[in-house]
Amino acid sequence: MKIQKDFFSRNAKTVAKELLGKILVRKINNKEFRAKIVETEAYFGKEDPASRASKGKNKVSEMMCDEPGKILVYNVHKYKMFNIVTGKKNEPSAVLIRALEPINFTGRCNGPGLLSGFLEIEKSFHGQEIFSLENIWIENSTMAFKIAKSYRIGVTKDLPEKLRFYIKDNWFVSKK
Name the site residues for DNA (rule: CB under 7 A).
Answer: 41, 50, 52, 55-59, 74-79, 81, 96, 98, 111-113, 123, 152-156
Cβ-based burial of 165 (10 A; exposed 0-12, middle 13-18, buried ≥19): buried
Nearer to DNA, 137 or 174 (CB): 174
Measuring CA to CA, which residue among 129, 121, 96 is closest to residue 26? 121
Nearer to DNA, 2 or 59 (CB): 59
At its nearest, how many Å lie between DNA and the CB of residue 1? 30
What's the DSSP call for residue 110? Answer: B
Half-sphere exposure of 87 (CA within 13 A, CB side): 20
With H, G, I as helix, E, B as strand and everything else as coil, classify residue 21: coil
Amino acid at 153: I
At its nearest, how many Å lie between DNA and the CB of residue 47? 15
Radius of gyration of the chain (CA): 15
At its nearest, how many Å lie between DNA and the CB of residue 174? 7
At its nearest, how many Å lie between DNA and the CB of residue 10? 21
At its nearest, how many Å lie between DNA and the CB of residue 81? 6
DSSP string, 112-158: HHHHHHHTT--GGGTT-BGGG-SSEEEE-------EEEE--SS-SS-
